[in-house]
Every structure is written in structure tokens, then in C-alpha cells.
Amino acid sequence: MVATFFYPVYMLLGFIIVVIFVPKKDLKEYFTYGVILRGLGDLVVVAIYQNLFQVMWFQNAGIFSVLGQNLLSPPSWILTIIIYLHFLPHRKVFMWVYTLAFAAFSVGYGYLVRNAGLFDFKPWLYPYLSFLTFLLWWVIITWLFCKTSTLRRDSLR
């Protein structure tokens, strides 16, 4: 039962947070970053770690299983990045703490999905190597967003 509803409940909570906090006018840009950097990125990283290196794998996805991946994982990450980018601090010191916290959150999320029976991995992958992977991922997302986003430039004026 938990496995069936984990991703839909997570997505519903993420959607509620997005609707409450993210201005409608900004949503398109955040969504674009989410799709490109996290949604598609999730597919690539999962393909590398799951299909190439076989150190992690999705399981028990039921009707949401597509090519060995959980169909609801990328949209969950898209909502997460929208929230992440919207609340990204402007001061560098806070930005680094925030990014480290989201890398730790991502590791915790991996454990949560594992405990729900939807995901598993080799014991040596979590928490250290996965933390470094997530940290690199969040740093790249943060850097690209700060360098290219009109939302970021407009808010600094």
C-alpha cells in the first residue's frame, strides 16, 4: 500500500507547496529548469547508475514501471527543483548551506523511497557516494540557474 501511494502523495504535497508559494508568473521558468536539469537529469543518472553500473534499481513500481524506472520519479524531482529554486537564498554563504542541505535531503529521500520498497541500492552507494552525486547535481543546478535565469537577475536588482 505504501509503495503504491508514495510518489502520488509526494507529488501532491509538492504540488500544494508550489501552488501556495510560487508565483504563477515565475512557474514557467522554474518548470523549464526542473524538466531540463532534474527531470531529464534523473533519467540520465538513473540510466547510468541502474543500467550501466547496476548499483541501484527501482522495484515494485507496478503500473508506474517504465523501462525499469519509476515513471513518477522525474515529475517528483521536477516539483522538488521548482521549490528549491524558488527558495534559493541570494547570499552565497546561505546558498551553500541550502545546497548542502538539499543534497542531504536527497540522500534522505533515497532512503525514504527505499523504505517504501520502491528503490534499492548497493550498500556502499548510500550515503557517501550518493551525497557527492546529489551535491554535484545541486551545485550544477544552482550555478546554471544563477548564471542564466531571468528570475535570478531580476530579483538581484
29-52 pLDDT tens trace = 999 999 999 878 888 888 899 989
Would you state the pLDDT for residue 157? 47
Among all chains, which residue has been given the C-alpha cell 540557474?
145
The structure's pTM equals 0.91
Q: Is the peptide bond before 127 cis (omega within 30 degrees of 0)?
A: yes
At 85-124, the pLDDT tens digits run: 999 999 999 999 999 999 999 999 999 999 999 999 999 9
Domain total in the chain: 1
Residue 152 belongs to what domain range? 2-156
